[in-house]
Amino acid sequence: MIRRCVELLSLTLIGGWLAALLGSSQWAPVVGCLLGASGWILMDNFRAARVLSWLRHGNASLAPSTSGVWEEVIERARKGFKVLNRKARKSDARLQEFLSALQASPNGVVMLDRNAHIEWCNFTAAQHLGFDSKRDLHQQIRNLIRDPAFIAFLNQGDYSKSVEIDGRDALPGHPHRISIYIHVYGKGRRLMLTRDVTALEQAEAMRRDFVANVSHEIRTPLTVISGFIETLLTLPLSDDERERYLRLMEAHAQRMQGLVSDLLTLSRLEGSPIPGSSEWMRGDDLLQQALNESRALSDLLSDGQHQWIVWDSPSFEIAGSRSELVSAMTNLLNNAVRHTPAGSTVKVGWRLLANDGVEFFVEDNGPGIAAEHLPRLTERFYRVDRSRSRETGGTGLGLAIVKHVAQRHGGQMLVQSTLGKGSLFAISLPPSRVITA
């Protein structure tokens, strides 16, 4: 401030002195002082205009060159710019972290303004609802989602409950259901959350089917046993008739026992830890144990008329659970026995795979399975021929058990079948669980 006063005073005195030297009038010094002061004001206004222009439009690093109080103003402004830029960068970084978190969310997020235009959305929401997260910004959401249920939900303004609509991947026989929630925030803005509930609905449908199937499978033999008991209690029967009824009751009781046993096996597989690698077993020992059980079933169902071809298995050991592996292998062999007529050929054995893993396979020349049934074979209680399965004592849970055992050992179950020619079932196990001799 002192410097500005000195500058003003100096230019005023210089203007008066020059006017006194050059002029002849007594008012010349006064006019000269006024002209000097006016010159300083013009020069100061020019510097002020440059500084103001820089503040409005200039780059903080390209400040105009000046002096005096304006130099201090520029320096203070530059420091203020640095502080503001630092805060802006931090705010932008926090915003990007927040948006990245929303992008990583398994749920869809859509931000709508008060007129239901899209302000921002993540990729998950775009995938759920079938629009482009960049191209469709600022579009009216009603123009992109035309489902009547959603339009009514959006217009009614009551968002206490969610609404479900078909997703972009919905096809006949292939449902894709999306649940939408809306929350109001700010000044009329709305936050829309989407969630893929297809798996939940399928799980609920499977639960209902499971309960219905279990109830049916248990109710049928119970009804038969109850009828036989009533017959034994109320009617005079010969010894042969009584024995026949008791045999039938025993068969149905064993059927229920097998169902309960398979249900407990599935429950144990789903709730227990993955088998470790501390227990090693010879592959041919497992094969022989499974064969003994399945040959006994063949003797019971067809007087042992199945023709068995056992391949020479390579010498190797497997790490895992003996009981689970034998159960899976036996289920595949029993399937071949139950679903092929007497006299059919069943090939069975182990073979090495190209990746150093191993595969247990069961191949038969039975009636085969139509292609439309193959994707559903491992569903619980799913049967290709319901009447024959029940006649031979199947529970409809065997292949579900095989699939779980294979997955728990890091492998998979494979199925190939041609209608009228036979079927091939296999369990492949990874090299991490195999040691070859």
> Same domain, yes or no, for 267 and 139?
no
383 vs 153, residue with greater confidence? 153
Whole-number pLDDT of residue 35: 64
Number of domains in the chain: 4
Q: What is the mean pLDDT of residues 39-60?
A: 70
> Same domain, yes or no, for 310 and 427?
yes
What stretch of H or E contains 326? Answer: helix 322-338
Whole-number pLDDT of residue 389: 47
Return the half-sphere exposure (C-beta side, CA atoms, 13 A cut-off) of residue 92. Answer: 6
> Same domain, yes or no, for 397 and 259?
no
41 vs 149, residue with greater confidence? 149
SS3 of residue 56 by DSSP: helix
Domain end call among 169, 196, 223:
196
> Same domain, yes or no, for 192 and 243?
no
**Residue range 109-146, pLDDT digits in tens:** 999 999 999 998 898 888 888 888 888 888 999 999 98
> Among 4, 11, 12, 64, which residue's Cα sits nearest to residue 33?
12
Domain end call among 66, 96, 126:
96
Task: State the pTM of this model.
Answer: 0.54
**d(Cα 181, Cα 195) in Å, to the nearest integer?**
9
Q: What is the mean pLDDT of the chain?
A: 81
Q: What residue has token string 């919905």?
A: 170
SS3 of residue 419 by DSSP: coil
> Same domain, yes or no, for 32 and 181?
no
Whether the CB-CB separation of 347 and 362 falls below 8 Å is answered with yes
**d(Cα 321, Cα 90) in Å, to the nearest integer?**
55
Judging by beta carbons within 10 Å of its beta carbon (0-12, 13-18, 19+), is residue 180 exposed, middle or buried? buried
Q: What residue has token string 């494979």?
A: 414
Radius of gyration of the chain (CA): 43
Helical packing angle, 322-338 and 398-408, nearest 10° = 150
Tell me if 308 is assigned to some domain: yes
**Which range of residues forms the domain containing residue 244?**
209-272
DSSP secondary structure string for all residues of 169-191: T-BTTB--EEEEEEEEETTTEEE
> Same domain, yes or no, for 32 and 109?
no
289 vs 228, residue with greater confidence? 289
> Same domain, yes or no, for 300 and 166?
no
CATH number at residue 319: 3.30.565.10
Whether the CB-CB separation of 8 and 42 falls below 8 Å is answered with no
Q: Beta-carbon neighbour count of residue 362 at 10 Å?
A: 23
**Residue range 372-406, pLDDT digits in tens:** 888 888 877 777 665 444 454 556 788 888 999 99
**d(Cα 370, Cα 357) in Å, to the nearest integer?**
29
> Same domain, yes or no, for 400 and 412?
yes
According to DSSP, residue 306 is labeled: P
pLDDT > 80? residue 317: yes
Tell me if 345 is assigned to some domain: yes
> Same domain, yes or no, for 221 and 131?
no
Tell me if 203 is assigned to some domain: no
Whole-number pLDDT of residue 423: 92
Domain end call among 162, 196, 230:
196
> Same domain, yes or no, for 183 and 267?
no
**Residue range 205-261, pLDDT digits in tens:** 777 777 777 777 778 788 888 888 888 888 888 888 888 888 888 878 877 887 788
> Same domain, yes or no, for 303 and 413?
yes
> Same domain, yes or no, for 320 and 399?
yes
CATH number at residue 192: 3.30.450.20
